[in-house]
Chain A
């Protein structure tokens, strides 16, 4: 995947909690990117094997709503996105970004 500002932002949002379940809207908010950018990117990451997805357990939902789809980082994803963030730290293009992750 091309190393773009959006990828770096999404990578930082994902790696802030590498072992957690991530929701699409939550990632959009934390990365500050548009949903039209984040959702296709998540699809690409799934295709690359950087993420796995699943659906919420309906029995654990207290509100009256359908189960959400979650994304979880794979080991490969942690490695690849970690490398992306490390490279971004030294890249002048991303010098204005505040890159912090777990």
Chain B
């Protein structure tokens, strides 16, 4: 017990307490603004939590801010990480698109309207384009993240496959399947990015009731 009292009375503990009182007691608005930055840019929860702070009792505000730290970590950070991953996939998709021919790009622009089920077949067509056969040699477009696919055009690799009892067409079919799902996943993720990355909509520029669901911005 004495040790506990000594610990609490130590200069470090007192400084820590002072900082906590200062931070949560005097600057809850400032701290909350920093906390909600865990949400993706333009996410309505940012404005919502800040607006909510000023409607609650002054004494409860530090507790509210502390609770929002948990909310932001749980919801906001998750969304931000998902967005980051989705943006990475989206960049890859754009990279693919930039390496395509004009005809492929037109097809890709149609694909970008996914998830219309009718256009799902376009994904399959694009996959076919990337694995087209020219002059008896499999031409695989050289994307850095499909380096292993290049092994397919290497004669030694085909021999190794034959030795292992695996036919080249089967391997190509496997790669096609893999690539197809990769494209699909990229498209779905890219859609998610656009769901949360609208232009910032600060509350002060809003007309009453004009903020529709965020997903409407897609």
Chain A: residues with CB nearer than 8 A to chain B? 23-25, 34-36, 39-40, 43, 46-47, 52-59, 63, 65-69
Contacts and interface: CB of A to CB of B under 8 A. Distances in A.
B208 A56 contact: yes
A17 B47 CA distance: 25
A66 B203 contact: yes
B216 to A, nearest CB: 11
Interface stretch (B4-12, B49-57, B123-131, B153-161): B49-57
Contact of B74 (A36, A59, A67): A36
A94 B26 CA distance: 41
Interface residues of B, number: 28
Contact of A24 (B48, B70, B74, B209): B48
Interface string B44-74: 1101111110111000000010011011011
Contact of A23 (B55, B71, B211): B55
Interface of B: 44-45, 47-52, 54-56, 64, 67-68, 70-71, 73-75, 203-204, 206, 208-211, 213, 215
A55 B203 contact: yes
B203 A35 contact: no
Contact of B54 (A39, A43, A65): A65
A36 B71 contact: yes
Given A23-B55, A59-B208, 13 more contacts: A24-B48, A36-B71, A36-B73, A40-B74, A47-B215, A55-B208, A57-B208, A66-B47, A66-B51, A67-B208, A68-B48, A69-B51, A69-B211
Contacts of B204: 58, 66
Interface centre among B54, B68, B204 (most CB of A within 10 A): B54
Nearest to B204: A66
Contacts of B70: 34-36
13 contacts: A24-B49, A25-B56, A25-B64, A34-B70, A35-B68, A36-B74, A43-B75, A58-B204, A65-B51, A65-B55, A66-B50, A68-B48, A69-B51
Contacts, number: 72
Nearest to B72: A36
A49 to B, nearest CB: 9
B209 A54 contact: yes
Contacts of B52: 23-25, 68
A24 B50 CA distance: 12
A39 B213 contact: no
A67 B67 CA distance: 21
Contacts of A23: 52, 55
Nearest first, the 4 closest Cβ-Cβ pairs linking A and B are: A65-B54, A57-B208, A69-B48, A66-B51
B44 A36 contact: no
A34 B70 CA distance: 9
A17 B171 CA distance: 61
A39 B75 contact: yes
Contact of B45 (A39, A54, A56, A57): A39
